[in-house]
Copies of this chain bind each other. A is one copy, B any other.
């Protein structure tokens, strides 16, 4: 037997020193965020009340390609970074494919996902700005757990609005956040105007990221020295997540390969951007031909079935208007287990890249994602998060295509997190009781008509 290298590791000294700001390299810049009242482009000052200054600056920065990572953040990154790049020999064998499959293993983070990559700098900049408190929302709970630890590290008090369906399906996530010292509230709640309004109209509403965002923003606006933090969608979040792809780029080089396809699951865009943007820079700059695939759930398919519109980032319309592929900000997604992908819109950078044909999107049904997840668990040992299982499903499809075509192809996907806290979902899948949610086209069209009418 010849010894094969399974994990490609980097030392802490090779941790990226800067994040990559793709906007600086884009020929067509994303359209600006708009103030919903004036329809004027939003300025840094407009964002200050809610976000830390440096985060507002990063959000609108279109010029600097590289933005330095503060030392204090890099020190904390060392708890789990650089993460391993792994050759999926087991999965390749199970698929009997000529393709080489690699995954970036973000599941080794102590909070179980890539979300810590942005939670740490966000908490850091909020603290630098003199904040004592922060608020946020969380879908599956991955972002909330990450920010709970980050807030503890930098000495901030945190309140998390957790989408009710996840609050109930994933009690361990709530406990995790509490273990790190955060306060957790099921959303919609009666603690905010936004929550009360929704609960009064629909007492059994299971919640959505859009609603939870409204609640977290409202609390932040009413609390002194309080900032708000978001775990996806926004440009500065994608920026922080580029550490994933920057490390992966070095690691693929060490493996002596370059990906033909790069894949990430897609909710608001944070992990997809993180793995793809550093590789995309070679497509933008040198015209390198690489495919980038966003794998979204068939039940929340903004990239494959949504429209490109100015829309709100939240349910209640507290945010600026964002240029995004959207299903409508009051879209109520099905209760799929991949709670982190239940968001109505895509970040503005990704939306622009999709319009420009630089990236692709596929939609994956829930059963297909779990089938892929179980195959991955049995062949690679790691039980993936239901979100990440969408990326695995897309990678499997690409690997099977390579087999059909008899082509050697190098596939890289991001394993954004593990599923150890989502085992009730696997239980349901294994017992044959899982629903295969997907949207009917007319549901989507109805919803989009509604949102277009509102925005007119």
Q: Which residues of A contact B (CB under 8 A)?
A: 1, 3-7, 9, 11-13, 71-72, 74-75, 78-80, 108, 110-112, 149, 152-153, 171-172, 175-176, 178-181, 374, 377-378, 380-383, 418, 420-421, 423-424, 426-427, 430
CA distance A111 to B126 in the complex (A): 36
Most buried by B among A78, A175, A377, A427: A175
Quick one: closest B residue to A380, CB to CB?
B79
Within 8 Å by CB of A112, from B72, B152, B420, lies B420
CA distance A188 to B430 in the complex (A): 24
CB distance from A15 to the nearest CB of B (A): 9
CA distance A377 to B111 in the complex (A): 10
Question: Are B377 and A423 within 8 A (Cβ)?
Answer: no
CB distance from A280 to the nearest CB of B (A): 29
CA distance A418 to B152 in the complex (A): 19
Question: Are A430 and B179 within 8 A (Cβ)?
Answer: yes
Question: Are B179 and A6 within 8 A (Cβ)?
Answer: no
Question: Are A383 and B80 within 8 A (Cβ)?
Answer: no
Question: Are A1 and B175 within 8 A (Cβ)?
Answer: no
Question: Are B381 and A80 within 8 A (Cβ)?
Answer: yes
Quick one: closest B residue to A80, CB to CB?
B381
CB distance from A77 to the nearest CB of B (A): 9
5 new A-B contacts at CB < 8 Å, known A153-B381, A175-B424:
A1-B72, A9-B11, A172-B423, A176-B426, A421-B423
**Chain A to chain B contacts (Cβ below 8 Å), 18 pairs:** A1-B71, A3-B12, A3-B71, A79-B380, A112-B420, A152-B378, A171-B423, A171-B424, A172-B420, A172-B424, A175-B423, A175-B424, A175-B426, A175-B430, A179-B383, A179-B430, A420-B421, A421-B423
Most buried by B among A12, A149, A374, A383: A383
Which residues of B sit under 8 angstroms from A380, Cβ to Cβ? Answer: 79, 110
Quick one: closest B residue to A72, CB to CB?
B1
Which residues of B sit under 8 angstroms from A75, Cβ to Cβ? Answer: 1, 3-4, 6
Which residues of B sit under 8 angstroms from A6, Cβ to Cβ? Answer: 12, 75, 78-79
CB distance from A138 to the nearest CB of B (A): 15
CA distance A381 to B110 in the complex (A): 6
Which residues of B sit under 8 angstroms from A423, Cβ to Cβ? Answer: 171-172, 175-176, 179, 421
Which residues of B sit under 8 angstroms from A111, Cβ to Cβ? Answer: 381
State the 5 A-B residue pairs at the shortest beta-carbon distance, nearest first: A172-B423, A6-B78, A175-B423, A110-B381, A110-B382
CA distance A12 to B374 in the complex (A): 26
Question: Are B1 and A12 within 8 A (Cβ)?
Answer: no
Within 8 Å by CB of A374, from B4, B108, B153, B179, lies B179
CB distance from A113 to the nearest CB of B (A): 11
Quick one: closest B residue to A4, CB to CB?
B75
Quick one: closest B residue to A89, CB to CB?
B75
Question: Are A378 and B4 within 8 A (Cβ)?
Answer: no
Most buried by B among A12, A418, A421: A12
Which residues of B sit under 8 angstroms from A72, Cβ to Cβ? Answer: 1
CB distance from A3 to the nearest CB of B (A): 8
Which residues of B sit under 8 angstroms from A149, Cβ to Cβ? Answer: 377-378, 381
Question: Are A427 and B178 within 8 A (Cβ)?
Answer: yes
CA distance A378 to B177 in the complex (A): 11
Which residues of B sit under 8 angstroms from A172, Cβ to Cβ? Answer: 172, 420-421, 423-424
CA distance A5 to B79 in the complex (A): 10
Most buried by B among A4, A78, A153, A374: A78
Question: Are A427 and B175 within 8 A (Cβ)?
Answer: yes
Question: Are A180 and B378 within 8 A (Cβ)?
Answer: yes
CB distance from A398 to the nearest CB of B (A): 23
CA distance A9 to B75 in the complex (A): 16
Which residues of B sit under 8 angstroms from A153, Cβ to Cβ? Answer: 381
CA distance A374 to B377 in the complex (A): 29
Quick one: closest B residue to A2, CB to CB?
B71
Which residues of B sit under 8 angstroms from A74, Cβ to Cβ? Answer: 3
